[in-house]
Structure 1
Amino acid sequence: MKAFVLHGQRDLRAELVPTPIPGPGEVLVRVRRAGICGSDIHYFVHGRVGSFVPKRPFILGHEIAGEVAELGPGVDAALGGRRVAVDPSIPCGACAFCREGRYNLCINMRFYGSASADPHVDGGFAEYVLAPAANCHVLPDGIGWAQAAMTEPLSVAVHAVMRSGGVAGKSVLVTGGGAIGQLTALAARAFGASTVVLADIAAFPRDLAVQLGADASLDAADPDAVGQGLGLVPGGFHVVLEASGAPPAVSLAIALARRGGTIVQIGTLPAKVTAPLNTIMARELSYVGSFRFANVFGIALDLMASGRVDVSPLVNAVMPLDEMAAAMDRAIGKDGVIKVQVEP
């Protein structure tokens, strides 16, 4: 099969590799659509994602949807030929975190298109991908390929909203207007937030967020961004969801969270970030992390199938897999795009 294999920093090669053969409990999925995520960009541009450093060439891509093309031994025949979204998480199921139901924290997690475990798990920037049958969620009627491949990033957003302790009836600020930020704003609205505001340094994501239902946007680069935010929601926001991974956004989040409020860190930050811990203490702010997702993949699909969340406007570019290099450049440039997807 054709695949795009990462060999190093800015070294993504088109190759013919053996088509995987499904073993017991596994299926072979013919990839119909795969999204380019921020982590894919980090691996391509920087050759690593935080402490995850590739030890061998591997295939990126974890936002995957396709058709079940072949069944391994023991897999229910009813899954054959079905349209599915693939959950890229493969936890061990045995560690304390898995037993507690927080499998996103699994110490032995294997994740598609990631160097977090060795051997690495090949992802979906290929014609086919191997998957545990249990990770294949059959698509509801009416869900197209573009939506299906957004199930994973929407799951990240849903998990983050849940980590806040609930947003129903509350004011919510989302910092960062990329794919995760936009999806987080949509999820917050779907879960009953009374006010949703999105902050970003660029006009395009701010305007898009308002078009998709946010009550207002905030120019994070404005020297008076804090004043403008407090003008929108006097006293500050009940919940701030930080999706940019930019240190200035952390400062903005703390400044605009109301006393007793909650800040959820979704974006991956640089190694060294300073924060006013005394402010967090004195205002009794809750600062919590949100890593990947757990137990929400089906919820994300249901939100799209019900029409509560429409992700279609976020998929701004769909390119052939053969044009993977150009697709990556488009995703890196962020020129008028939120999500770039490729299709074999």
Structure 2
Amino acid sequence: MRAVVFEKFHTFPSLTEVEKPVPGAGEVLLKVAGSGACHSDVAIYNEFDEGAPGAQNPPFVLGHEVSGWVEEVGPGVEGFAQGEAHLVYGPIGCGHCKACSRGQDTYCENAATMPYLATGIGRDGGMAEYVVVPARNLVPLGDADPVDAAPLSDAALTPYHAIKNSLPNLSGGGRFALVIGLGGLGQIAVQILTALTGATVIATDMKEDAMRRAEANGAITVAGGEGQVERIREITGGRGVDAAFDFVGATPTIKTAQASMAQMGRLTVVGIAGGVTEWSFFATPYESTITNTYWGTIEELHEVVAMYRKGQIRPDVERYSLDEALEAYRKLESGQLSGRAVVVPHQS
């Protein structure tokens, strides 16, 4: 079968022939419906160095945002029918520590001993015609479109987890939420905030078209650049925002979020651009919090799928054939994508 393979550090992936996988004990073979191209993939092949923290050794098939139809089940697997559509929960932990027991494989206590982090991150992923995944990691989609659902497993789950952790800050009247960075995750974050809270959602980006899409989903937008923080604080009546979500994670965006915070506010840095910041007692709103999150739990992915099936969240998807997969990654690298690129291996 054909697949997009990460073969060497600091080297663009290849579209090549690999052996079709066979499900082992406790595993399911999926015929891939869709696989989202994520900036984390670019980091895997373009930014990480061999041996660096988080680096996963090649070769392996990319693709950690995956949906598909059950094709075959391995020994000991029951309860799945051929042709059923499922979404893949990407993270794979040891399965027996406290974190894994609560479905939070992202924080597996034995991650250092695992041979991979997730489907598509160290283990063969979904940028292929077929993929094998643990049966435990499948979330049923019912009759929902599995292609458009593919990005939910990261681009929706990641902001959902961050927002859910911040719900106490957004409970009550007159609350404000700030979304910085209106790429795939930021756009869905606006939708989640609108669906789960009564907060006024302020969204900011440098791209005009991205801000228009956020406005269509209920956000008030503020353009990046000079006067950005002043405008944000003006919208809040000078008080600042109760919860901020930085989906970039660069030093300037973190500082923008910090300068926009209210007392007792919460800033969650979700983006992994590697930014740093400073803290000082008198320059920081009292009892405000700066934290970070990584992905989410499988239970939360079930909740995300429920929101998707109810029409509360809808990823902005651009579909590509497998032949066009490398072009999708080139566009992702150069910032040319306006939506989430989803590779559809079996599209006619």
Separation of aligned partners in 2, 1:104 and 1:57: 22
The percentage of aligned residue pairs carrying the same residue is: 27
Alignment of 1:200-215 (within 5 A): 200-214=205-219
Separation of aligned partners in 2, 1:55 and 1:103: 20
The answer as to whether partners of 1:85 and 1:149 remain within 8 angstroms in 2 is no
Separation of aligned partners in 1, 2:293 and 2:283: 18
Alignment of 1:54-133 (within 5 A): 54-76=56-78, 78-99=80-101, 102-109=104-111, 110-114=117-121, 120-133=122-135
Residues 252-291 of structure 1: CA deviation (Å, up to 9, x unaligned): 1111111111111111132x61223435755221112111
Residues 79-126 of structure 1: CA deviation (Å, up to 9, x unaligned): 322111111121212224334654321133431221xxxxx2111111
Unpaired runs of 5+ residues, structure 2, are: 112-116
Alignment of 1:181-220 (within 5 A): 181-214=186-219, 216-220=220-224
Give 2:268's aligned residue: 264
Q: Does 1:292 align with 2:302?
A: no
User: Structure 2 length as normaliser, TM-score?
Assistant: 0.89
Give 1:308's aligned residue: 312
Amino acid at match of 1:330: K
Q: 1:34: Cα distance to partner?
A: 0.5
Residues 189-213 of structure 1: CA deviation (Å, up to 9, x unaligned): 1111320011112212112110122
Q: Do the aligned partners of residues 336 and 92 (structure 1) sit closer, same or farther apart at CA in structure 2, a change above 3 Å counting?
A: closer
* 3-state secondary structure, aligned to 1:340: strand
Unpaired runs of 5+ residues, structure 1, are: 115-119
User: Structure 1 length as normaliser, TM-score?
Assistant: 0.90
* 3-state secondary structure, aligned to 2:341: strand
* 3-state secondary structure, aligned to 1:218: strand
* 3-state secondary structure, aligned to 1:161: helix
2:255 to 251, 255, 266: 251
The answer as to whether partners of 2:251 and 2:276 remain within 8 angstroms in 1 is yes
* 3-state secondary structure, aligned to 2:332: helix
Separation of aligned partners in 2, 1:77 and 1:229: 50
Separation of aligned partners in 1, 2:235 and 2:268: 20
Separation of aligned partners in 1, 2:240 and 2:212: 22
Give 1:18's aligned residue: 19
Amino acid at match of 2:27: E
Q: Does 1:326 align with 2:327?
A: yes
Give 2:114's aligned residue: none
Amino acid at match of 1:184: A
* 3-state secondary structure, aligned to 1:11: coil
* 3-state secondary structure, aligned to 2:13: strand
Q: Do the aligned partners of residues 336 and 131 (structure 1) sit closer, same or farther apart at CA in structure 2, a change above 3 Å counting?
A: closer
Aligned length: 333
The answer as to whether partners of 2:262 and 2:285 remain within 8 angstroms in 1 is no
Cα RMSD for the two superposed structures:
2.0
Q: Do the aligned partners of residues 255 and 62 (structure 1) sit closer, same or farther apart at CA in structure 2, a change above 3 Å counting?
A: same
Separation of aligned partners in 2, 1:137 and 1:171: 32
Amino acid at match of 2:106: N
Amino acid at match of 1:76: E
Q: Do the aligned partners of residues 10 and 204 (structure 1) sit closer, same or farther apart at CA in structure 2, a change above 3 Å counting?
A: farther
Q: Do the aligned partners of residues 99 and 138 (structure 1) sit closer, same or farther apart at CA in structure 2, a change above 3 Å counting?
A: closer
Alignment of 1:215-254 (within 5 A): 216-221=220-225, 223-234=226-237, 235-254=239-258
Separation of aligned partners in 2, 1:30 and 1:84: 10
Q: Do the aligned partners of residues 279 and 300 (structure 1) sit closer, same or farther apart at CA in structure 2, a change above 3 Å counting?
A: farther
Give 1:45's aligned residue: 46
Separation of aligned partners in 2, 1:2 and 1:178: 29
Structure 1 segments of 4+ aligned residues over 3 angstroms from their partners = 47-50, 99-103, 279-282
